[in-house]
Structure formats: structure tokens, C-alpha cells
Structure 1
Amino acid sequence: MLKIALHLHSNRYGLMAQSTSAEYDYSMKLLLIGDSGVGKSQLLHRFSDRSFIPGCRATIGIDFKNKNIELDGKRIKLQVWDTAGPERFRTITTGKPRILFAFVYDITDERSFNNIRIWFSNVEQHASEGVNKILIGSSCDLFEKRVITKEQGQALADEFGIKFFETSAKENINVEEAFFTLA
């Protein structure tokens, strides 16, 4: 089992909802937010199933998978949600378990990058204050089609005060690292 030494960050900010289940100590919900077709479903499959599905179709509505992880000796049930749009956003951003957000854009799609500000604003309006957020530039394996530089992604993350990763679900680059940084 993968162990990550993030206990000070996770516990200090109280990002976990205590569980009464014997199967896990905490439960968290990670929402993948971004335009359709940016690779959210691919990230979900890579993280939860350790697989890549070529030609993955766009999500209709909401999809989620559970993954049990261990972090600092604590068993965590992490629900990773692939959201298709803002219409159901309010219903899944409240209550327990604690909510984490990953804003996803495709490094080959300038529009998806520009729309991150809209997604971020929507989260700021509807989510609890102080929730953990991260910016993910997907498809970093498609470097020959890149239109958004790594520096642009980092600058946007710095503007929002959040961490930034470029990932590739296909090549399994930084997927677990990004998700574990949030947890």
C-alpha cells in the first residue's frame, strides 16, 4: 500500500470527515472539475483502476469511483467524482464527506484553460471556505500539440494560491501525485 507523508497538512486543516465505519478512518470526496473532453474520466480511471481507456466517451451526468488509500497510517475512503457540468454542482458540494477540488484543463486546448477561471469562480461561490483545491493540466504526453505552457499553468495556479501538476493518464504521469497532494 502506498504511504504518503502528508499528515501535518491533512490533519492541521481538518480536511477529513471522521468515519464510524471499521473499514476506513476518514472519508473524502474529490471532484474533478473542468470542460467536457479535457480528460477527467481518463484521470478517474487511471487513479481508481490503474487503467487507460483509449477513446473514452464524455461523461453524461456524474460518474464516481471509490478508492481506499492509506495516508499517514490512516485508512481513507476517497470518492473521486467526474462531473460533466455545473448543473449538478451545488448538490454534490455540500455535506459530508469533506470535499476536495481538482480543476482540470487540457494542455492542447486553450479554451479549456481559459474556462478554468469560470469553474474556479463557481466553486468559490458554492463551496465551503478553505477547501483544498489543485490545478491539473492533462495530456502532458501530447507535447507536440501543446498550446498551454507549463509556465502558464503554474502562473494560474499561483494566482489562485493552489498547487499545480501536469498529468498524463495515458502514460501515468503525476496522476497519483496530484490526487495524494489533495488528500
Structure 2
Amino acid sequence: MGGGRMRLFLFRYSKANRSIFLEEDRVKAETERAKAPVDFTTFHNLLYEKKHYLKAIKACIDFKSKYPDIELVPEAEFFSSVPKDIKETSMSKDSAHDLMLKRLNFELHQVVPTSRGQALADEYGIKFFETSAKTNLNAEQVFFSIPQTIRISKPDPDKGSSTVTERSACCGS
């Protein structure tokens, strides 16, 4: 091969190489142009989805419970005094939601139905009060009714009989 032929071969080889690179760039650009609407749509969908999730999270945070005044026993007290049937439920021990459900269940376990309380009051011949130590509902009335009930049911030592006498004022006045 002569020097001229070699240059011609090298020239053709360089030209073919350049045309391959140019064709590759053209195909890449065409692919990018075809992908742009798809990428924009995907991006738009992701933004919409993000906005939807943020709206749902805000709705959960702003949610006002039907029972905002429920006070549960502190966790330490709950774990020390909870019955086994509540403690050994199939709920996982590390979930905050499951713990809340267990504590609510414990609260239900501690509540005495009104009918049972009324029956006990009738059985012992005392006035029935619906009470709550947490909210201080009727706690004072119950406290002051206990001495009255004791005084009413205690026999009068002066009369020597075991009849029940009722006094009208506090402290025997």
C-alpha cells in the first residue's frame, strides 16, 4: 500500500467514525425528545401524589376526636396493673397504636356498669353515685355521703334499741 492509499483509507475510516458518532448523538437526542413528555407526566404525577399525601397527613393531624377528653392511665401504671387477658392479646408490644388499644381496653375493663353499681348500692342500702376519680365526678358528694350513711344506719346508744334513726343535720346538731 502506498502512502496515498493509506491516507485515503484513514480519511474514509475517520469519516465513517464521525458519521457513527453523529448518528449516535442524533438517536440520543431523538430519544430524549421522545422521553421528555413521559418524564414530565411522571414528574407531574409524582407531584400530584405528594400533594395528595400531604393533604391526607394534614387531615389526620387536624382530626378532632369524638372523645378528646379521654384520659388513660399512665403507661407505667398500666403495665404494672393490667390483667393478663389484656396483656397477652395478639397485638404487638412495640406498636404505639396497639398500646393505645390495650390501654383503652384496660379502661373498659375497669369500668363498672351502672346497673351493677346500682344493684350494689341497693344491696347495701346506700345512695348510688356515678363517679369518676379521673374527672372528679361526684367524688365530693360520695365523700360527704359516707358519714351520713354510717350515722343513719348506726343504732342510737341512748335508746338501747337497734332501730335506725335519721338525724337532720351534720355532726348531731
Taking structure 2 as the reference length, the TM-score comes to: 0.20
**Which of these two proteins has the greater Rg computed from alpha carbons?**
2
Give the structure with the larger helix fraction.
2
Give the structure with the larger strand fraction.
1
Taking structure 1 as the reference length, the TM-score comes to: 0.19
